[in-house]
């Protein structure tokens, strides 16, 4: 605040000096105060603007003025044209239009991207944003380590703050999850096939972290890596591409066809009468008919059907001896 008052006083003094020379000290002082106020307003607006917006606005203004000059030359031959206000109006309209357009287009550019453009390098491709859930989940590190995902990973500061908040939680479970997320992020940073960047971009008017992530993805034309089903849907509705780790895991599960046999361990009873439930190594649920009495035992089963849901794959099966007896009765007629 103090430096602004000094700046205003400096402009007022300069205006007073010029006013004395022209014999109008009061008018000169008033003009100095007005220019000082304008400078303070511009400084306040520019301090909040992104570097990309500033550079884009300057470039747009320059191109608008150049376009106005080019349009001016054909009309220069018209008598009396130079004395009219048309050149000024033309320059003002095109200059302002270029300035506004440059600000809008430049708002999506970061300082690193601007530097890369001036160096003649291509813009970054395959940019991906990591959300909190996928970092804590940890499987993204294994996928990257296997070389299936590469490129540039962007971690916004607000995601990092959420991780830190979880890691500092008084709840021991949340604290462990938060610390695991920070360890996973550190592990990914050390990998040679990916680049992890922490960005300061934030959206103060948006309160929810997921909404901020979607807004940032739209601004950077990036994809979001997540395992959050709701975020997946919200991002898809707004035209943002999503890489869902759960969908990848489901796609990589071994294909099981009806009629195949397997050995499983019955862990608990099912929802229906006499049903038993087992799980494969990848977490796929196997619902077995007439296996409630075999809870806690290893059994051989035969697959009868496979159901694919949004939550994953579910296998329905019968005990192998029951299945064979049924097949035998069908053959015998």
Bridge partners (DSSP) listed for residue 152: 127, 195
Measure the CA–CA gap between 161 and 15, rounded to whole angstroms: 49
pTM over 0.95: no
% of the chain exceeding 90 in pLDDT:
26
| Residue 134 near residue 245 (C-beta atoms within 8 A) | yes
Sheet holding 223-226, edge to edge: 194-199, 151-156, 127-130, 223-226, 242-244
Mean pLDDT over 203-212 rounds to: 88
| Residue 228 near residue 131 (C-beta atoms within 8 A) | yes
Q: Which of 4-13, 198-207, 242-251 has the lowest mean pLDDT?
A: 4-13
**Between 81 and 91, residue with greater pLDDT:** 91
Q: Which residue has the tokens 């050149």?
A: 87
Say whether 284 sits in a helix, a strand or coil: coil
Structural domains of the chain, with CATH: 2-113 (no CATH), 127-251 (3.40.50.1010), 261-332 (2.40.50)
Measure the CA–CA gap between 303 and 313, rounded to whole angstroms: 13
Measure the CA–CA gap between 252 and 286, rounded to whole angstroms: 17
State both tokens at 313.
């794959």
Instruction: Give residue 121's pLDDT.
Output: 42
């Amino acid at each position: 605040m103090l430096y602004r008052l000094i700046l205003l006083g400096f402009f007022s003094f300069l205006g007073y000096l010029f006013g004395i020379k022209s014999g109008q000290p009061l008018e000169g002082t008033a003009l100095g105060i007005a220019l000082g106020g304008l400078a303070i307003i511009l400084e306040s607006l520019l301090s909040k603007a992104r570097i990309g917006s500033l550079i884009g606005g300057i470039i747009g203004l320059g191109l608008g003025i150049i376009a106005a000059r080019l349009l001016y030359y054909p009309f220069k031959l018209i008598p009396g044209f130079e004395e009219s206000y048309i050149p000024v109006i033309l320059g003002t309209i095109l200059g302002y239009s270029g300035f506004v357009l440059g600000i809008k287009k430049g708002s999506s550019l970061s300082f690193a991207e601007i530097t890369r453009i001036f160096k003649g390098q291509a813009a970054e491709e395959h940019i991906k944003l990591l959300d909190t859930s996928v970092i804590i989940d940890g499987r993204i590190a294994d996928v990257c380590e296997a070389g299936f995902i590469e490129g540039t990973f962007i971690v916004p500061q607000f995601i990092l703050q959420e991780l830190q908040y979880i890691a500092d939680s008084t709840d021991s479970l949340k604290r462990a999850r938060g610390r695991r997320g920070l360890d996973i992020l550190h592990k990914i940073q050390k990998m040679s096939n990916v680049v992890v960047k922490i960005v300061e971009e934030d959206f103060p008017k948006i309160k929810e972290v997921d909404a901020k992530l979607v807004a940032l993805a739209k601004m950077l034309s990036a994809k979001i890596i997540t395992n959050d089903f709701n975020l997946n849907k919200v991002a898809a509705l707004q035209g943002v591409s999503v890489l869902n780790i759960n969908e990848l895991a489901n796609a990589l599960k071994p294909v099981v066809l009806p009629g195949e046999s397997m050995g499983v361990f019955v862990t608990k009873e099912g929802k229906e009468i006499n049903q038993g439930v087992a799980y494969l190594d990848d977490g796929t649920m196997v619902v077995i008919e007439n296996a409630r009495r075999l809870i806690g035992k290893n059994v051989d089963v035969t697959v009868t059907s496979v159901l694919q849901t949004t939550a994953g794959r579910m296998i329905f099966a019968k005990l192998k001896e029951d299945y064979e007896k049924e097949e035998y009765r069908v053959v015998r007629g």
